[in-house]
Amino acid sequence: MKNPLENFDYRIPCDDFFLYELGRLVEEDRASLDDEEFRRLIDAGIHEHVERRLEMRTEIAAHLRKLRSAPVRVLRFVEDIEAPLHDVPTIIQSYVAYLIRRLEQCVDEKPDEKVEAAADLLLESPEDRSAAEAAMETLGSIRSAASARVLAYVISEPVLEEDLEMKAYTLVRAMWPLARPYIFYSLKPHAHEDIPFRWFQLLIECGEASAVDRILEEVLAHANHPDYREDLLVLMELLGQARDPETEGKILQVLNSDETPHTVREILDGFLKRSKTPKHKETGSPEPWASLERLYAANKKYLEAAKLFDTGQKAVANRKLDELLREQPDYPFVLMLKQYCRGGLRPPPTSKPRDRGRS
C-alpha cells in the first residue's frame, strides 16, 4: 500500500544533528529499525522535526486532506498536537525514507571548512589558550547547528579553563536553540560519566519548557549512585532559578510517588527545605509556558471545528474557525482548514481506526 506521505519534504538542512548521526549509523551498518540506537534516533528526530513544529504538522495535515482517500486515523494524530507521532507507521516510514534521501543529497554538499578547521583546533588542542580562543571566536561567528554542537560539547566536558568554558557557554546560549537537538538526544540515555551541569544551566536560562522535567529525570536516573550525589545536589540548585510555574508541583509529584527511591526523596526534600521555588504569579504564566497554554487551548478548539467539518457540518465548522481566528489570528491549522471550508473540498471519508503499532 502506497504511503500517503511518500516523498514528503520535512525540510531538514544538511548540517542537522540527526542527519549527522544517521550518517554515522549508516557507516556502521546499523540503519535498521531493529537497531536500538537507530530507533531512538528516529523517535527523537520525529519529535524534533515533526511533533513539536506546528507548521510542519499543518503541512502534513494539508497534504493528507488533499488526498481523495485521506488516512483519517493518521490525520487525527497529526492535527492533535498532544498526540505523539513516533509510533505511527505512516510517519515512521515516510520520515526514514526522507532522511535516507536527504543524506544522499547532502553528500555532495561541502561542509563549512571554517567550522571544521575551528572544531579540529578546539578539540585537538583545548589546552592551548590562544588556539582555543581563536577557534571559539570563529565558531561563535558562524551561526550553524554544527558550530553550536561543537561549543555545546566542549562545555559538557572539563577540557577548558573556567573563563574559556564560560565564554563558550555564552556563545552557545546566544545560538540557542541550535544546540538543543544534540543536547536533548545526548541526555536521554543518561550514559554520561559526569553530570553536564552547563547543559542544564542552558535549559534553565534559555527558558526551555521541559528544563525542570529533565533535571528531575537526571536525579531519578543517578540518585542511587554515590559518585553522582555531589553533582546532583549542585544540579538541584538550578531549580531555584526555574521560571516554570509548575516547578514545585513537579517536585512534589516525584517526591510523593510510591515508586520514588528513598535517595531521590532525600535529595528533593532537602532542596525544598532550604530553597524557595518560584510560585505561579497572579499575572499568569511566564513565557514560554503562557504560549504553550494558549497553543493547547487553541488546538482543542480547532479539533472540535475539524470534527464538525469532517462530518459534513461545514457552516458550523466555519463559524468555529472564525471565532478561533479572532483569538489566534495566525493559527496555522485554522488558516489551512478555512481554505477547505471556502472551497468545494469534501471532508475525508470516515474509516474504522486500526490499532496503532510500529512499522
SS3 state at 104: helix
Residue 303 is placed in which grid cell? Answer: 479539533
Cβ contacts of 263-269, under 8 Å, gap ≥ 24? 263/223, 263/224, 264/219, 264/220, 264/223, 267/219, 267/223, 267/229, 267/232, 267/233, 267/236, 268/219, 268/236
Predicted local confidence at residue 275, as pLDDT: 81
In sequence order, the 6+-apart residues with CB closer than 8 A to the CB of 334 are 298, 302, 305, 321, 324, 325, 328
List per-residue pLDDT tens for the chain, 359 residues long: 789 999 999 999 999 999 999 999 999 999 999 999 999 999 999 999 999 999 999 999 999 999 977 789 999 999 999 999 999 999 999 999 999 999 999 998 888 999 999 999 999 999 999 999 999 999 999 999 999 999 999 999 989 999 999 999 999 999 999 999 999 999 999 998 899 999 999 999 999 999 999 999 999 999 999 999 999 999 999 999 999 999 999 999 999 999 999 999 999 999 999 886 555 444 578 999 999 999 999 999 999 999 999 999 999 999 999 999 999 999 999 999 998 877 655 556 554 444 444 33
Predicted local confidence at residue 355, as pLDDT: 41
d(CA 347, CA 345) in angstroms, rounded, equals: 7
Query: How big is the CA angle at 228 (ends 127 and 186), to the nearest 5 degrees?
Result: 65
CB 32 within 8 A of CB 39: no
Predicted local confidence at residue 108, as pLDDT: 86
Which helix (H) or strand (E) segment holds residue 163: the answer is helix 162-175
